[in-house]
Amino acid sequence: MVQATDSQATEYDRPTDLPALLAAVRWQDSLLQMYRVFYLLVQCTLLLTGVGMAGMTFLLSLPDKALAWVLLCLLGGAAQFIGSRLNAVVRARARDVHYWQLKVLEAESRGQRPHFFSDFKLWQVQLRGLSGTGDLRADDDLSLSTLISSSEITRGFLDRTLPKSLGVVWLCLILASTGSLVMTTLSQYPI
C-alpha cells in the first residue's frame, strides 16, 4: 500500500466528512463492546466452573479432593492466560476507538457543525468533574486529549481493574481449596 504524504493526502487518508467519521467511531465502538462481552462471557464461564471445582475440594475425600484441587489450579492458570490474551485484544480495540474519537473531535474543532460529539464529551468531562474544565463549550479551544480522557474512567475499570479483580477471585478460590485440602490431609494424622 502506498502512503501519501501530507501534501498528497487523499480523502481516504484524512477523512473530514463528519458522518463518515462518526460511522467509523460507531463501528469500532460496536466491535469493542462485542469483544468486551465475549471477554466477560468467557471469564464468567471459567470462573463459574472454578467455583464448582472449588466446591468439589470441600465435598470430596482424599485422593479425589487432591485431583479436584489440581484441576482447579490448572483451570485458574488457563483462565488467567486466556483472560490476558482476550484483554489485550479488548485494549487494542479501545485504542482504535480512541483514534477515531480523536478524528471526530479534530473535525469538529475545525469548525464542522454540528458539534454533537464534542458537546457530549464536554458533558462527560464536566459531569465527572475533571479539573480545569469549568464552563467549557465545544467552541472553546480545548485539549482534545482532555475530552477523550473522560472515557478513561470506564476503560480503566473494564480493561484494568476488572481483570485484576478476577485474578484476586481466582487466587481466593485456590487458597480456600488449598486450605480445605491441607485440613483434610492433616485430619488423617492424629496429633
The Cα–Cα gap between 178 and 188 comes to 16
- The full DSSP string for 23-71 is HHHHHHHHHHHHHHHHHHHHHHHHHHHHHHHHHHHHHS-TTHHHHHHHH
Q: What is the pLDDT along the chain (191 residues), one digit of tens a residue?
A: 445 455 454 444 455 687 888 899 999 999 999 999 999 999 999 999 999 999 999 999 989 999 999 999 999 999 999 999 999 999 999 999 888 888 888 887 777 566 777 777 777 777 766 554 455 554 454 566 666 665 666 777 888 899 999 999 999 999 999 999 999 999 988 87
Cβ atoms within 10 Å of 11's Cβ, excluding its own: 9
CB 163 within 8 A of CB 84: yes
User: In the chain, what are the domain boundaries?
Assistant: 17-187
Dihedral sign for Cα atoms in the order 39, 45, 47, 48: positive
